[in-house]
Structure 1
Amino acid sequence: MSSSAPHKHLFYAELAKLVEAGFGVREAGKILQDTRLPVPQQRLLGLMQTGLENGKSIAESFAADPALVSDLECSIIAAGERGGRLAPAFQHLADYFQLLASTRSEAVKSMIYPTVLLHLGVIFGNAPGALMNGESAGSILINIAITLGVIYLIGFMFVMVSLRLLKAATTSAAVDGFINRIPLLGKARRDLALARFTRVYHTCLLAGLPMQETAASSVNASQSGLIREAGQQLAATLKIGDKLGPVFIASPAFPNAFARSYATAEESGMLDKDLARWSDLFQQDALRGAKRVSGAIPKIFYALVVIFVVWKILGFYQGYYRTLETLGE
């Protein structure tokens, strides 16, 4: 049982609003339970109430069902809870899931027309040649269904492979680096990972958590294999008490501008403001990147459909000319 990004956006936005208004988190949970929330959110609130009664934290209560919450959510909630900044923590999550919801919605909308065009291309690519050959309507429909079935199968396999790669990229630096080199998609994905990293880092700093815990939580929330690999060096550096600026600068997981900015902010004691700024920048860049990807997907789809239709038309005319040559003989 999982929850969609739009539902999570509304859930955390309502929690942030109630907590900021002065309601205790238990009271806020009871109020939300009376608003006919989706089942996953109702379960989360039930876990929270039960966990709090048993002396657990909110983050620990939510984490009882990993299918409902991510490392990012647990990290931000835990930091906000320990630092007495629950309302901003919930609002951070609301903003993040609003970003995911809007980008996914745009991607789906951008695929509607190309999908219709694909089906029309298959129909008009198969029907004329079949009619010229005197095939029956039933045979034509079967050929169209087989063609669409092959396309669906290829599409399904592509989606499954893509999902496996994306999952592997959360822990593998090699896979993560490979995906990040894909034009448009790689940049948008990297910006989103950096937005998660800096958002959690900033929240943990404001909460006053130890640097070791701050770095570990941020690395886990990033869902990036490259950042996880860099996190090992961050942890080793913190263990001996050195500053992290040089590690950020030396690591390929972080942009040069961000790494240099972190180093100067670390020296000047302005990390909280600097990370807040970078978190917003990365989130905005991720949104723009997602829009570019959403715009590129239908164009690629159009190109594939056109190639398919042209191929079918050429095949039709080749068969037509062969028929004429046969008749001429």
Structure 2
Amino acid sequence: MAVGLHWVGSGLLGQAMTQPTGERWNLALEGLSVTMGSARWIAGLYFNLSTLLASGVPLLRALSIAAQNADRRASRLLIQISEDIRRGLDLPAALGRCKVFGRFDLALISAGEQTGRLDESFKMLAEWHYLRNRLNRTAVAALIYPAVILHLAALVFYLPALVLGQIGVFGYIRNVVVFLGQFYLIGIVALIGIRFIRRSRLFADVLGMMLVRIPLVGRPFLNLAICRFARSFEMMYKAAMPIDHALNEAARFAGPPIRAAIRAASTAVAAGQPAYSGLLGRLPAEYVEMWQVGEECGQLDKAVEKIGQLASERAQYGLEQLARWLPRLVYVVVMGMVVAMIFRVASQIGAGYQIPLD
């Protein structure tokens, strides 16, 4: 199974890859009608720009075409980017002013601009963001059914007490709200925690190191980190950046699970040793073997490209498996709470029918 745009069998980019070039543009541009700044919006924009640039369309003309087919807010953003470029800013600087595109995106775009491979950079980023969007939608869709079961359980299992007159309507509503409120509170705290962690490098690193040690979760997140590293290193290495500098720059986007391994590889290069010697024992053996072969054969860029593809495939598979198992874990929790509620309601009903013994 190929990666990114090639493995998408349905959806916006998957349809675009199966159409003639002229029709691909229109299909890709449909992605600009979704929420600006979302992974799908960014993936659609990147894919569109990649296709246009690969077809020989100049950058400013490509931005103009994208703006014409976008909604009003996105169109203003793309026009502003074009104006900044005309005023002398390079593309990464113009994109950076928008506060929509991440550091990882800007680094790859900068490397692509330096190497004259801007279309490839946009294609890589389109694949990356579409992968993120697909995995996010898979996880959300998998949680919908457990959430429905949870709400139905809260509504149904307080009904006997209401029917028997043990609680009034107000008490019934209060019990349902209190029960569901626990889960909403956990969700709100989790969202706040995620936003805080994203802003704190220290907490993000600690969380990343914890995630890779959790069964079923660790391996996909490790492969995602390797994929990010491979994508960024490939473009920077193609930009004729010295290998140790490329390693240090790519380490910024790799994530804590493999950052130490990449820095060890950079240290090895600075000491006159091959980079793979610093990766031994720190990354999965198959990735190190691929790196070693590429480095020894003088085709490190192609080897790293293959590493990125393999890591992406494995991350996708692992996270899809996680998305399948996560609802089952939620089912177990919900059913455990439902059973506890059944016993509690049954005991209340039984207590109501107890006959005092003289």
TM-score where L is the length of structure 2? 0.82
1:291 corresponds to 2:325: no
Q: Which residue of 2 aligns with 1:49?
A: 82
In the TM superposition, residue 187 of structure 1 has moved relative to its aligned partner by 1.6
C-alpha deviations, 1:72-91, integer Å up to 9, x for none?
11111111111111111111
* Counterpart residue type for residue 230 of structure 1: A
Instruction: Provide closer, same or farther for how the CA distance between residues 296 and 226 of structure 1 changes in structure 2, counting only shifts above 3 A.
Output: same
1:29 and 1:114 mapped to 2: Cα distance? 43
Instruction: Provide closer, same or farther for how the CA distance between residues 213 and 24 of structure 1 changes in structure 2, counting only shifts above 3 A.
Output: farther
In the TM superposition, residue 27 of structure 1 has moved relative to its aligned partner by 1.3
Instruction: Provide closer, same or farther for how the CA distance between residues 292 and 165 of structure 1 changes in structure 2, counting only shifts above 3 A.
Output: farther
1:174 and 1:145 mapped to 2: Cα distance? 35
1:59 corresponds to 2:92: yes
Q: Which residue of 1 aligns with 2:65?
A: 31
Q: Which residue of 2 aligns with 1:140?
A: 172
Q: Which residue of 2 aligns with 1:247?
A: 278
Tell whether the 8 Å contact from 2:44 to 2:126 is kept in structure 1 after alignment.
yes
Give the total of aligned pairs.
324
C-alpha deviations, 1:126-149, integer Å up to 9, x for none?
221333243222321222122222
Tell whether the 8 Å contact from 1:249 to 1:259 is kept in structure 2 after alignment.
yes
* Counterpart residue type for residue 220 of structure 1: R
Task: State the secondary structure of the residue aligned to 1:325.
Answer: coil
1:79 corresponds to 2:111: yes
Q: Give the gaps of 5 or more residues in structure 1.
A: none
Alignment match of 2:132 (pick from 82, 100, 114): 100
Greater RCO (Cα-Cα under 8 Å, separation 6 or more)? 1
Instruction: Provide closer, same or farther for how the CA distance between residues 142 and 174 of structure 1 changes in structure 2, counting only shifts above 3 A.
Output: closer
2:47 and 2:290 mapped to 1: Cα distance? 31
Greater shift in the superposed pair: 54-63 or 109-118:
54-63
* Counterpart residue type for residue 289 of structure 2: R
1:192 corresponds to 2:224: yes
Tell whether the 8 Å contact from 1:169 to 1:176 is kept in structure 2 after alignment.
no
Tell whether the 8 Å contact from 2:266 to 2:278 is kept in structure 1 after alignment.
no
Q: Give the gaps of 5 or more residues in structure 2.
A: 1-34
Alignment match of 1:300 (pick from 322, 329, 341): 329
C-alpha deviations, 1:99-138, integer Å up to 9, x for none?
0111111111111111110000111122213332432223
2:296 and 2:72 mapped to 1: Cα distance? 47
C-alpha deviations, 1:264-289, integer Å up to 9, x for none?
32122121221111111111111111
1:131 corresponds to 2:160: no
* Counterpart residue type for residue 23 of structure 1: V
Instruction: Provide closer, same or farther for how the CA distance between residues 12 and 249 of structure 1 changes in structure 2, counting only shifts above 3 A.
Output: same
Task: State the secondary structure of the residue aligned to 2:157.
Answer: helix
2:46 and 2:357 mapped to 1: Cα distance? 75
